[in-house]
Amino acid sequence: MREGTLHIGPSAVPYRYGAHCLPELCEAIAQLRPASAVLALDAAVQSHAEPLLEQLRQHMPVHPFVIDPHENHKRLSLVESLMDHAVAVGADRTSVVLAMGGGLVGNTAGLAAALLYRGVRLVHLPTTPVAAFDAVFSLKQGVNLGAGKNLSGAYLAPSLIACDLSWLATIPRPALLTGIAEMAKNVLAVLPDWESDFTDALAELEFRPLEAFDSLFALGLHAKAPLLATDPHERHGALVFEYGHTVGHALEAASNGAMGHGEAVAWGMLAAAEVSAQLGHLADADLAGHYRLLAHLDLPPARIALGRFDRGALADRLAIDNKRGHLPSAPGSNPMVLLRRLGEPVRGQDGRPLIPVPAEMALDAFEKVAATEVM
């Protein structure tokens, strides 16, 4: 089992990752000595939760709250329902909120933990690659508003991140692969030297999934830890993790939840790479490197996946992107993470990895991606 401490600014966050390690994970939760636990539970992982509940209940009362994880449900109303449930079952300030599921459950339960009694402890029990290797390494807890993705939230350090990698084995292969797009982002935007570790892990996924998950965990932690240590609120250097998320978030929101986060980010990275190349920052070889790497994710044909998106709807979503305000950007322009080469973002005058890009240019780049086959 891998155990250690992730430093996010001044917060020291313990983590435990392993395969078939439920007793160790339950012991780590029990050591927090909560009066009780409220388990925000992704409906798809109830079978994984049963043995967890059985073991945890030897240490504390545990009250499940099942969440149907649709992106349209990731709203303040769901956070409120979870908090109402917590109060109704007797949770007090010493209770913990356990978030077992994908990034959606993690973000929702994370915000509930930040708000309940002005903050109770949060334990992440991630069950998807997006959650286990990316989203949980963050203080950002938040949900969508009707106006757009992740527009309301708070910062809260988890008290523990605990993952039995065998939980991830029940994810269907297409969702598994696209969910790994955030790891491709880490290779493209932060750690290009890890490309072969990444592709080796993908090759292992089918036959030795637990070993593959372990490698992807190492990649996620290695990419995020150094930047989060000095930029806990992800407002400076760690903004590089927003690579692909400008067009990606617009796609995810415009699809009304039909396109998963990972797939949307994959297309968003190709659009960001096209913009980077068009502005003369990124060499053709590195642009081609994007298409080559993302081809490993078996994305659906671009013309099918992207053909149904309306330019006007995407423009509306770009206009409310949650990175607005990081930079003084002219109307009709979006702060975007661009690359000057693999692993190296273009930095603006303030040193941050954000460059204002006219929305029309981002949309043109998206249309170019939609007309290109990812092979």
Ligand X SMILES: NC(=O)c1ccc[n+]([C@@H]2O[C@H](COP(=O)([O-])OP(=O)(O)OC[C@H]3O[C@@H](n4cnc5c(N)ncnc54)[C@H](O)[C@@H]3O)[C@@H](O)[C@H]2O)c1
Return the residue matching tokens 């979503």: 317
Catalytic residue among 71, 182, 234, 242: 242
Instruction: Give, for 76, the enclosing helix (H) or strand (E).
Output: helix 76-88
Query: To the nearest whole angstrom, how small is the minimum distance from the Cβ of residue 140 to ligand X?
Result: 4
Which pair of tokens denotes residue 98?
A: 């356990």
Of 8 and 45, which CB lies nearer to ligand X in the complex structure? 45
Annotation says 140 is catalytic: yes
Amino acid 194 reads W
Cβ(50)–Cβ(41) under 8 Å?
no
Could you list the residues that contact ligand X (CB under 6 A)? 42, 44-45, 69, 71, 74, 101-105, 107, 127-128, 130-131, 134-135, 138, 140, 150, 167-168, 170-171, 175, 179, 260-262
Task: Kindly provide the residue ranges of all beta strands, DSSP E only, lying in the chain, ordered along the sequence.
Answer: 2-8, 11-18, 37-42, 62-67, 96-101, 121-126, 140-145, 148-155, 160-164, 333-336, 339-341, 344-345, 355-358
Of 168 and 314, which CB lies nearer to ligand X in the complex structure? 168
Beta carbons within 8 Å of 257's beta carbon, 6+ residues apart: 70, 71, 72
Q: CB count, 10 Å around CB of 210?
A: 15
Cβ(202)–Cβ(231) under 8 Å?
no
Amino acid 44 reads A
Of 237 and 358, which CB lies nearer to ligand X in the complex structure? 237
Query: To the nearest whole angstrom, how small is the minimum distance from the Cβ of residue 225 to ligand X?
Result: 14
Query: To the nearest whole angstrom, how small is the minimum distance from the Cβ of residue 107 to ligand X?
Result: 5
Residue 348's Cβ-count burial label (10 Å; 0-12, 13-18, 19+) is middle
Annotation says 24 is catalytic: no
Query: To the nearest whole angstrom, how small is the minimum distance from the Cβ of residue 285 to ligand X?
Result: 29
Of 100 and 277, which CB lies nearer to ligand X in the complex structure? 100
Catalytic residue among 24, 27, 140, 323: 140
Of 45 and 357, which CB lies nearer to ligand X in the complex structure? 45
Query: To the nearest whole angstrom, how small is the minimum distance from the Cβ of residue 211 to ligand X?
Result: 17
Rounded to whole angstroms, the Cα distance separating 286 from 312 reads 30
Rounded to whole angstroms, the Cα distance separating 169 from 205 reads 10
Which pair of tokens denotes residue 60?
A: 């504390």
Of 261 and 317, which CB lies nearer to ligand X in the complex structure? 261
Cβ(162)–Cβ(25) under 8 Å?
yes
Residues known to be catalytic: 140, 242
